[in-house]
Each structure stands twice: as C-alpha cells, then as structure tokens.
C-alpha cells in the first residue's frame, strides 16, 4: 500500500544530542514537509522540499536540519541547538499540484 512512514514512533533524546527522524514515502510525491505540533499551537512548518536536492526553511527552522537526497526520503535532524525539542513531529507529502497533503503517523520526541 502507498503511504508515508515515519520512524520511530517514540524517540527519547538526552540534552545535547542530535537525533534524526525518518520519513519515507512511496507515493511518488515531489513535495515533502516537516511540521511540529505542540499543544494549543496547531501545526507549524519546519522545512519543506519541492524537489530532490532542494529544500527551504519554514517558519520555525532554527535548530533543525534536513536533506533530500532521494525523492522518497526526507529525514529531519533535531540538533542540540533546538532549545525546546520535545514535541510531536509530522511528516507530509503532496504531488505539489492542487491536492491535499498526506501525513505520516508522527514521531513523539522527548528530551530526557
């Protein structure tokens, strides 16, 4: 079945460590996105990519980095520079045309 897979579902990180969240899609979508969800804040855009080897910062990119080496993959690294990384992270993709975005199941990151 086509879809978006995020892993792991739960992730724990010690302060000062970098951690990478995985996002893979087999929908053949060009565009991929990372959102952060905090209680009462809705979904805020971290990074997006509309094509392989190209990506742009969203509204809250500080402390995060991404890569887009393959069409299917858009991993997000949460660096030690992110001061408040505990949150729920959602990856999404779309054709880039006039359609909705499809979402993965999310990763809950907790700093311990």
Partner 1 sequence: AQTVTQSQPEMSVQEAETVTLSCTYDTSESDYYLFWYKQPPSRQMILVIRQEAYKQQNATENRFSVNFQKAAKSFSLKISDSQLGDAAMYFCAYRSAFANQAGTALIFGKGTTLSVSS
β-bridge partners, 87:
109
Please give the residue ranges that form the binding site for partner 1 (CB under 8 A).
31, 33, 35, 40-45, 48, 50, 56, 58, 88, 90, 92, 94, 96-98, 100-101, 103, 105-106
Report helix, strand or coil for 17: coil
- Min dist CB 101 to partner 1, Å, is 5
In whole angstroms, how close is the CB of 96 to partner 1 at the nearest point?
A: 5
Closer to partner 1 by CB, 75 or 106: give it: 106
Residues of the chain by 3-state class (helix, strand, coil), percent to 5: 0, 55, 45
Q: How many CB atoms lie within 10 A of CB 92?
A: 23
């Amino acid at each position: 079945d086509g879809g978006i897979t995020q892993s792991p579902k739960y992730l724990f990180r010690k302060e000062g460590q970098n951690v990478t969240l995985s996002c893979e899609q087999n929908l053949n979508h060009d565009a991929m996105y990372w959102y952060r969800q905090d209680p009462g804040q809705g979904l805020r855009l971290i990074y997006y990519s509309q094509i392989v080897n190209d990506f742009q910062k969203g509204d809250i990119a500080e402390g995060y980095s991404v890569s887009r080496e393959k069409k299917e993959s858009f991993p997000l690294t949460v660096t030690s520079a992110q001061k408040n990384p505990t949150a729920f992270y959602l990856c999404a993709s779309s054709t880039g045309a006039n359609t909705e975005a499809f979402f993965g199941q999310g990763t809950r990151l907790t700093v311990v």
